[in-house]
């Protein structure tokens, strides 16, 4: 989708909109993190989306249930946080819905295979 930055004001006070193509850059050093939990908050103008990864407690797999029971909770660490405008959020939701429908068409509504 081309960007539409504001140009200079014309003589009548109107701002000319110019469409400029976007060159998408994907640096190799951006980390990829798995997030199993998502928290969304909003204000009047913006949405804040945080992605969390549940962290296993220390100890062996045999010890972990007792540790979790004694703590009374599991920890979730934020691995990414973004903020977007309400307009961008609307576009984001459309893109997500479209891609989710493509996913369902290709793979069906089933649980993915476990590793």
Give the pLDDT confidence of 50-90 residue by residue, as tens digits: 999 998 888 888 988 888 898 888 899 999 999 999 999 99
Sole residue written with tokens 């969304």? 40
State the pLDDT at residue 15.
Answer: 82
Measure the CA–CA gap between 107 and 93, rounded to whole angstroms.
20
Measure the CA–CA gap between 54 and 31, rounded to whole angstroms.
17
State the pLDDT at residue 17.
Answer: 87
State the pLDDT at residue 60.
Answer: 87
Q: Where are the domains of the chain?
A: 33-107
Q: What is the pTM of this model?
A: 0.69
State the pLDDT at residue 100.
Answer: 93
Residue 29: band (very low, low, confident or very high) from pLDDT cuts 50, 70, 90: very high
State the pLDDT at residue 61.
Answer: 86
Residue 115: band (very low, low, confident or very high) from pLDDT cuts 50, 70, 90: very low
The four Cα atoms 95, 100, 102, 107 give a dihedral, to 10 degrees, of 160
* Length of the chain measured in residues: 115
Tell me if 53 sits within 8 A of 35, measured CB to CB.
yes
Which of 98, 86, 93 is closest to 48 using CA atoms? 86
| CB-based burial label for 92 (10 Å; 0-12, 13-18, 19+) | middle
State the pLDDT at residue 13.
Answer: 72
Share of the chain above pLDDT 70, in %: 86
């Amino acid at each position: 989708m081309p960007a539409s930055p504001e140009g200079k004001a014309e003589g009548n006070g109107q701002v000319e909109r110019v469409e400029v193509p976007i060159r998408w850059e994907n640096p190799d050093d951006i980390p990829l993190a798995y997030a199993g939990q998502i928290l969304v908050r909003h204000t009047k103008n913006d949405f804040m989306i945080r992605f969390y990864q549940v962290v296993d407690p220390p100890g062996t797999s045999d010890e972990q249930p007792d540790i979790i029971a004694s703590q009374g909770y599991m920890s979730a660490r934020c691995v990414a946080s973004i903020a977007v405008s309400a307009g961008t959020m609307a576009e984001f939701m459309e893109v997500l819905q479209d891609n989710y429908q493509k996913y369902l068409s290709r793979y069906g509504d089933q649980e993915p295979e476990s590793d």
